[in-house]
Chains A and B, each alone.
Chain A
């Protein structure tokens, strides 16, 4: 495109008869070449690059960890819906006939999926087995444990389980009923509070990351001020001059994202050991869930977008501000 010399034939590659396909290939070849060139540039200022990548990586670790935490808590809550089991403790001195009739009524109840009767004796045997107090228990003259009916509601949501509990607690022979779900609702509340708090912190941190990336790019622009002036003098557009800096931002994102991923993976690996020894005590199958492939790519995408945005904001302001001061 020549503004002043309308007849000027050879203005750039577009004027040459290059096929569309070849130009398409050249477009990508050029981009790859420039991307690799920017990578080399990062290598030339290792301390600044490493610092920026480090900040980006560590800052991304927080939201990534939060996400995994929420995901794992969700898994815990799901596996504990079975805990919406109601234990009905039967009054002392109730005879078996009464218990059996209640059992029949409950089995016919539409809201109840399953009822199990654990008699005083079963409970004591089990306790002796598990606690290791076996021989000591033989000294008891009387069995102190009550009869228990375990009721599994059809609808295991916390709310309806609690309604059922209230209804069943009114039965004449029931001393009191207990629903082991309260701690779960509390956990949910705490997690959602935590989630919001960390979300706010994460947003602030990522804002800081944008500034830091912007500043690194700014310094890199300043150190190339002369070069940029010369490029402008021989007719380079701002877009052309910007490109390598934008690639630097992308590389910051790629490496920062990988760093965050590695930190989180290391953390998981370390926690898995600790959690394993706890859960084995409880006979639980619980395993920490790591990143899925989609989550990994989302993390990388977020990191790259941050890097690109940070450098774009910086590049837009600082490159147009550089004006060559002539021959």
Chain B
């Protein structure tokens, strides 16, 4: 469903963040994306969510080359992709409810239907009691979870997460991974970028490893023999 075909990305100034990366993610598949800081994980996710465009190569979703998506259509593509951002990116002066409801409001939902969905999403990340809070009054981990609720609230078929467990303790990290697993089990394709190699190894999912922009591993990661 998601396919990278010899994709390279160099940023203005000539820095090569991704170097001829190719891989495929099937519908309903869950995979991890690991690598050192600066390896290009976020860059790879940005190419999928059309925040950046590849310098060379093609990114395809369901056989549609993303380079064919013109600017006015980008919002509609993003509605199909749930994105969890490395730095949460919440609206700080709006309540948790408003933050989570945003993707629904954009799509024209309102009333009871919207409330029901928002509550369901917050329930999944265990934040139902914080509906009326402002993000500032939440801990880093709670803010992260609000971001997750927002990403899944409109049930996107593809879920991208960038360091979703960066601020969470091991127990909570595991819970969040369970949430992703649960989504995966209902057919959502999930791609999670993370540093947390221990967690990755324990979860036994396909793992893509980047090193200085190159894909150096694609498959199960053995924690003991660290490839990095």
Among A155-163, A197-205, A232-240, A283-291, the stretch that binds chain B is A232-240
A10 in contact with B157 (CB, 8 Å):
no
A235 in contact with B76 (CB, 8 Å):
yes
Quick check: is A45 within 8 A (CB to CB) of the other chain?
no
A230 in contact with B80 (CB, 8 Å):
no
A327 in contact with B107 (CB, 8 Å):
no
Closest residue of chain A to B63, judged by CB?
Answer: A4
**Nearest Cβ on chain A to B215's Cβ, whole angstroms:** 19
Interface SS, A side: loop
**Nearest Cβ on chain B to A22's Cβ, whole angstroms:** 10
Q: Chain B, 63-83, contact with A by CB distance < 8 Å: what is the 0/1 string?
A: 010000100110111111001
Which A1-44 residues have a C-beta within 8 angstroms of B? 1-6, 8, 10-14, 16, 26, 30
Which B110-142 residues have a C-beta within 8 angstroms of A? 110, 113
Closest residue of chain B to A1, judged by CB?
Answer: B76
- Distance in angstroms between the alpha carbons of A325 and B69 in the assembled complex: 18
How many residues of chain B are within 8 Å of chain A by beta carbon?
A: 40
Residue among A5, A11, A324, A326 having the largest count of chain B Cβ atoms under 10 Å: A326
B51 in contact with A324 (CB, 8 Å):
yes
Q: Name the interface size band of chain A.
A: 20 to 34
Q: Return the contact of B78 from the options A226, A227, A234 (Cβ within 8 A).
A: A234
B80: which A residues are within 8 A, CB to CB?
2-5, 8
Quick check: is B45 within 8 A (CB to CB) of the other chain?
yes
Closest residue of chain B to A229, judged by CB?
Answer: B89
Quick check: is B196 within 8 A (CB to CB) of the other chain?
no
Q: Which residues of A contact B (CB under 8 A)?
A: 1-6, 8, 10-14, 16, 26, 30, 226-227, 229-238, 240, 323-327
A4 in contact with B51 (CB, 8 Å):
no
A235 in contact with B106 (CB, 8 Å):
yes
Quick check: is B3 within 8 A (CB to CB) of the other chain?
no
Q: Return the contact of B75 from the options A14, A227, A232 (Cβ within 8 A).
A: A232
Which B25-50 residues have a C-beta within 8 angstroms of A? 42, 45-46, 49
A235 in contact with B79 (CB, 8 Å):
yes
Asked, given contacts A12-B107, A30-B110, A230-B90, whether A325 binds B79 with beta carbons under 8 Å apart, the answer is no
A12: which B residues are within 8 A, CB to CB?
79, 107-109
A8 in contact with B86 (CB, 8 Å):
no
